[in-house]
Amino acid sequence: MYTHILLPTDGSERSERAISTGIELARRLGARVTGLYVQAESRIAGGLNKSMIPETEEHTNALAQTFLAPISAAAQAAGVACECFYVHGETPHEEIIRAAESRGCDLIVMASHGRRGLASLLVGSETQHVLTLCKVPVLVCR
C-alpha cells in the first residue's frame, strides 16, 4: 500500500494532529515518513529576499527545527523511520508537491485549516492547492 508518507507542517495544532495521524498510519503500514517545513519567501524593500538576511536564515532554521522536532520524536517513539528537512519557497503548496515527487512519497498527510467562505477565497488554501495540483494521493485531516 503506502511506503513513504510526507508530513508537511506549519507548526499549528492542526498540523500536529495530522502528523499524529500520519505517523500512526506509517506504523501500521510499516512505512517511513518525511517531515517537511516550508518557509514561505517574501519580498522586502529594495527587491531583497528576507532569506538573504543572515539573521532571518538563522531564525528560519530555529523555527524549522522547532516545527520538525515533534515529527522526529513521535516517529522515533512509534518505531517509524523518519527524516526531516525544510525548504524556502514562494508558495508552500508547490514545495510540498515538489518534495513529494522528488523524494518518492506515495502519500501526503496534511491538515486543513477549515477556512470557509470569503476567508477561504482571500487567503487561499495550501491544502486545496495540493489536492488540485498533486498527482500523489493526499489524506486531509480536518
Whole-number percent of the chain with pLDDT over 70: 82
Q: How confident is the model at residue 103 (pLDDT cuts 50, 70, 90)?
A: very high
pLDDT of residue 55: 54
Q: Which of the four pLDDT bands, split at 50, 70 and 90, describes residue 51?
A: very low
Q: Which is it for strands 4-9 and 107-111: parallel, antiparallel or unpaired?
A: parallel
Q: Residue ranges per domain, the chain?
A: 4-141
pTM of the model: 0.86
More confident site: 112 or 122:
112
Question: Is pLDDT at 34 greater than 90 in this prediction?
Answer: yes
Structure confidence at residue 142 (pLDDT) = 84
User: Could you give the angle at the alpha carbon of 61 between the alpha carbons of 38 and 105, nearest 5°?
Assistant: 40
Predicted confidence band of residue 123 (pLDDT cuts 50, 70, 90): very low
Contacts 24+ apart (CB under 8 A), 125-129: 126/91, 126/92, 126/93, 126/96, 127/93, 129/91, 129/93
Confidence of residue 117 (pLDDT cuts 50, 70, 90): low
State the Cα angle at 121 between 120 and 122, rounded to 5°: 95
Q: For residue 79, what is its C-alpha cell?
A: 518505531
Residue 31, classified by CB atoms within 10 Å of its CB into exposed (0-12), middle (13-18) or buried (19+), is buried
Name beta bridge partners: 124.
none
Amino acid (1-letter code) at residue 105: C
CATH fold of the domain at 4-141: Rossmann fold (3.40.50)
Is residue 49 over pLDDT 60? Answer: no
Stated as kind and residue range, the H or E segment containing 49 is: none
